[in-house]
Amino acid sequence: MSQGLVIDSSWTLFLDRDGVINQRIDNDYVLQQSDFLFCDGALKAIEICSNRFQYVFVVTNQQCIAKGLLKETELALIHEDMCAQIKSSGGKITKVYAAPELKNDPESTRKPAPFMALKAQAEYPGIDFSNSIMVGDTDSDIEFGQRLGMKTVLIESKEEINSTPDFRFASLYDFSIALI
């Protein structure tokens, strides 16, 4: 990547899911495996990133659980299938973390709260947030990364953004190519 950012194999990558890895469903949720459609180039992008980063995590807000639209076991199956497809394409996801609470829940683990990253760091002590990148398409994704001292990458979408990320790309694939 340009602008003086040097990434080596000790770095960690955090990826948002909807709108970054898979196509976001406007005003709805991915509630079954057939709803989960990879964004163009996402599988190749994750393969490239898997070869550049020590860890690749998915951190995703999934309030569809708290709304009773999907069970945690069903979400786990969607994520297992996602990871299997990524693996068969040459990529890896170290682990998926999902926050199931409603947006306004005061005990929420949802982004922008740092809970999912702190949990990852507790489970994988090699994570250094100053050598980490958060890639997302919403303010909560960018704020999540900034709160932890990560570099932030915005994947441009229809979402209105008020945060200022370190980098902007049209897609996860474009971000991955910039790493080469």
Q: Determine, yes or no, domain membership for 5.
A: no
Mean residue pLDDT of the chain comes to: 95
Residue type, 58: V
Q: What is the average pLDDT across 78-87? A: 98
Confidence of residue 5 (pLDDT cuts 50, 70, 90): confident
Q: Determine, yes or no, domain membership for 58.
A: yes
Q: Determine, yes or no, domain membership for 59.
A: yes
Q: What is the average pLDDT across 23-33? A: 94
Range of the domain at 22: 12-179
Nearest CA to 165 among 139, 127, 128, 147? 139
Exactly one of 18, 28, 128, 174 is catalytic; which is it?
18
Rounded to the nearest angstrom, the gap between the alpha carbon of residue 157 and the centroid of all alpha carbons in its chain is 15
pLDDT digits (tens, 9 = 90+) for 40-62: 999 999 999 999 999 999 999 99
CATH number assigned to the domain comprising residue 48:
3.40.50.1000
Q: Determine, yes or no, domain membership for 51.
A: yes
pLDDT digits (tens, 9 = 90+) for 116-162: 999 999 999 999 999 999 999 999 999 999 999 999 999 999 888 99
Number of domains in the chain: 1
pLDDT over threshold 80, residue 1: no
Confidence of residue 101 (pLDDT cuts 50, 70, 90): very high
Mean pLDDT lowest for which of 3-7, 39-43, 112-116?
Answer: 3-7
The predicted pLDDT at position 13 comes to: 98
Residue 66 to residues 9, 36, 79, 114, Cα–Cα distance (Å) = 37, 19, 17, 19
Q: Using the structure block, give the residue that is written with the tokens 């570099």.
A: 151
Q: Determine, yes or no, domain membership for 135.
A: yes
Q: Determine, yes or no, domain membership for 2.
A: no
> What are 127's two structure tokens?
């994570």
16 counts as catalytic: yes
Q: In angstroms, rounded to a whole number, what is the distance separating the alpha carbons of residues 52 and 47? A: 9
Note if the pTM is more than 0.85.
Answer: yes
28 counts as catalytic: no
Exactly one of 16, 26, 35, 105 is catalytic; which is it?
16
